[in-house]
Structure 1
Amino acid sequence: MSGAPELPWLLPAILLSDPDPDSGGPARPRRTVGDRIVDGLVLGAAALMAVFLAWVQLSAAGPTPEVVVDVIGGAFACAALTVRRRWPVAVALALAPVSLVSISCSGAVGSALVTVAVHRRLPVAAGVSVLHLATGLGFALYRPNPDMPFWGTAIVTVLLYTALLIWGLFIRARRHLVLSLRERAARAESEQRLRVAQARQLERARIAREMHDVLAHRISLLSVHAGALEYNPDAPPAEIARAAGVIRDSAHQALQDLREVIGVLRDEAGPDPDRPQPTVADLPALVEESRQAGTRVRLDCRAGPDVPPGIGRTAYRVVQEGLTNARKHAPGFAVNVRVDGGRGAGLTVEVRNGVPSGGGRAEIPGAGLGLVGLVERVHLAGGTLEHGRTGGEFALRAWLPWPG
């Protein structure tokens, strides 16, 4: 576990920090059922020890004044444990004079010292422990043990209070470590949710870009066929019916694509990102659609059927954007499409078309972002994209890596 090796470095900060609200630290959590059970067990153990020690003294010396005071002190110490979590230092200080005259309070005093070590900083816990060590030695002088010399009693007392302090500090460090690990787990879970949300957003943006290219292609076909009907209203009925059918089919497909785009924007999960995507094998169908719209297209595809799907999809989008731009900016001009390449050499995609004199004004309006998105798509695939006029033609040329 990653937090365990850092525990030695965290100990100074843990031991010098104070988790209770009355000392300026972070607020202490409310008592749980487990805390109440622990409090009951601690109080029960201290009471049993007090009863046992009182019984031993009464059996040995009878109800003398010293024994009566001892028993009363033990009862008071056990009662004080009921508020040890709320005022740990106050309870420990209140039990210090009691421990001068009572041995029955030993269990309650030990619990109070451990509580101080758990809930207070090391200097405070050490100071309270030293105070009780002094009172313990005072009790040894006030009521010496006939079976052990004073120095022996002093050594046992020092070891006992040191063990209590170390035990409390260990519980404190372990609690801080558990809280730290819980916070890390919660933070890691939150970061994971954020990464998932970002991945979904990126996927939605990718699908939306795909739909943009498809919609631009469909709508340009609609515009071409509608323009043909507008400029040739006296065409034969069969030709008008064919053009109307193409318009209807293209409008239906564009509507379906638009619904998918809206679904991407509304639904966080979006449509199935693994739906079949176009590749190089779908280029003949794409070219045939443009031919039916009246565009003269010549396709020269020398790439084999083993083009990787990712590269093939990008190549398809390059040709689609080139045909769309040709219909927008150079209607009536022939378009030459060439796709060539192989493993290790990469895949070259080139779309060329004539340019009207004077630069030509687009008959079909557009946002002007098709090439921008295409450049981004090609760069993400690790390739390069060039476009511009060359020798009286407009050329769109892309190179895509094809690993060997």
Structure 2
Amino acid sequence: MSQSPSPPPPAPPAPAPSTPFAYVRDLFTPAGPPEPLLGQSSRPFVRWLPYGVASVFLAVLLPVTATLLPRSYGMNGGLAMLLSVAQTVPLLIAVSRPLLAWKIAFTADVACALMLPPPLPGPTVWPWPAPVIIGMLVLMLAVGLRERFRTSVAVWGLVTVTGYLFESTSPRHGNGSWLVPVILGGMLLLVGGALRGRGDARRALAEQETISEAERARRTLLEERARIARELHDVVAHHMSVITVQADSAPYRLPGLPAEACEEFGSIAATARESLTEMRRLLGVLRSEDTHGERAPQPGLDRLQQLAEATVRAGVPVELTLPELPELPPSVDLSAYRIVQEALANVVRHAPGATVRVSVSLDEDATHLMVLVVNAAPPAAPGPPLETTGTGHGLVGMRERVRLVGGTLDTGPLLGGFRVAARLPLTPLEKEPPTA
């Protein structure tokens, strides 16, 4: 039981006692919940070691005490057995509740000393018989390993005062043995307190290392986000700017363009500018440590009509059904918009010319928002798809957005086309996910 303990994390500090009685009660209150000494070790042998040590002391001290009290002190055999059990069995309790075990054993020790009043037959040790001293020292070590320093001081002080009072009542029969638990017990309490403090220091160091590791991971994440932001700015934002400038200047650089072509170039420029605006906002998020610090308004279902018109201009007929809806949580509103946006983009890339039906509505209980995007099979005439294979990142992004708000997503082929169905709860999770 002298090995370094593994007590539970310290309990939060209790309010200061208001009366002397409350202060004394606080002194003899355990520092934390009961947990076996060395119980947090990963090795079974180490976890069972305190029980083995306590069992050895119990097996030795119980019969010795039960035999010594009647033979050397003239105590009744039945009473001696009862006191021996009360003095030694708490050694097993001390593995997880050392302070409680010490209270029980010390009460039995005092009762035993009171039942052995001098004069005593023959040369004897009083007020504490030798087996009692050994058990007391073991329990004091256990208290030092687990309890607070002030509790250890209170235990040592009570043992000292009690021994001194017994010695002073009959100085002729005392032989100074009461000083043994005072001196050795004090040393064991200090040793136990030192081991306990060492364990606390090691745990604090481990916690600090965990915090440092988390900070390193956070710093790595921020560096990666900054790198992504630079790549997006250097590649995507640059090319989108070029597209915007070329689309805006096309009517001036190419005289004689028909009105439809000029309108088409204007639509391309407007879409590119909108994409640049969202790209700049995304770059701001990636470069910021606070993922919730976006101040720009996010797109929502109120912009679905504009999104559908842009898709129609790209050559994909869109039938939009959007009834009047109540005010939606921002995360749900944004997620629904992004799902429709990604679904329409997939149709443009993989099934150009296919008719798309977009429907947004509430379920029967008005507790979930239902988003349905279904496209028919693409016609044979408009030419090959812009992309014949996909990375699947769009569907992954949809599932992530749905999962963040606690909804469900169902996707798959349907009659030659494709179906995307999302069910989003109108009461989002407690922690609003970061919007992007």
Greater Cα radius of gyration, structure 1 or 2: 1
Shorter-chain TM band: 0.3 to 0.5
Greater helix share, structure number:
1
Q: TM-score, normalised by structure 2?
A: 0.45
